[in-house]
A = this chain, B = another copy of it.
Amino acid sequence: MQATPHRPYHHGDLRRAIIETALDMLRTEKDWQFTLREVARRAGVSHAAPYKHFPDRTALLVELAMIGFDRLREALLDAKPEAPRSLLEEITPISLAYVAFGTDNPALYRLMFSAEEGRAVGMHLDQRALAVFEVVLDMLGRGQAAGTIRKRPVRGQATAAWALIHGITLLAIDGLLVPEKVGSAPLEAAIATLVDGLAIPQPNT
């Protein structure tokens, strides 16, 4: 195989190229209507080519969503402090990392939770989403064991924590967390209330 002056007929690894291109456009083009034809265009292939690698548009969406959940999980694990000295010291950086992931990748984050059709079709997506849930679950479980958080059904606490952070992330993406309306530092304030709800109650607080 010598260097080809023109695009070769066969693309080599079109599947990966399509995914990469889509992620790229999701990152750069804000408020982009995900369109298969444009992905193909930017990848330099005909609009029919993707169908050799994905059964339909939804399948690509699901693939992207799974990648998104994996990356989110990694971001959370990376943000986990080595030796947190308090519950707050552990919850805050993880929460901030979560919200940052969402606001840095708004289109991808949206997509992760709105590939409804995909959710109906396969359980793979749910699995990835619940892997994120388990990061929270694990954190709170260790907190309970260490005696820093309340003894309550830990899955309920994890659900509350996930929902709160998920909600904050989406409100932020939607531009509804404007300080003038909702108070200054809304993110930190909301996390404070979450910590209040998880921490062992201190009568003097």
Q: Residues of A with Cβ closer than 8 Å to B?
A: 31, 110, 113-114, 116-117, 119-120, 126, 129-130, 133, 150, 152-153, 155-168, 170-171, 174-177, 181-183, 185-186, 188-198, 201-203, 205
Other A-B pairs beyond A197-B197, A201-B202, 10, CB < 8 Å: A133-B181, A156-B186, A156-B192, A159-B189, A160-B194, A163-B164, A163-B165, A164-B164, A167-B170, A196-B196
With A116-B174, A126-B176, A203-B201 as contacts: A163 and B190 at CB distance below 8 Å: yes
Task: For the complex, give the distance between the alpha carbons of A168 and B166 in Å.
Answer: 9
Which of A120, A189, A193, A196 gathers the greatest number of chain B CB atoms within 10 Å?
A193
Which of A113, A156, A175, A183 gathers the greatest number of chain B CB atoms within 10 Å?
A156
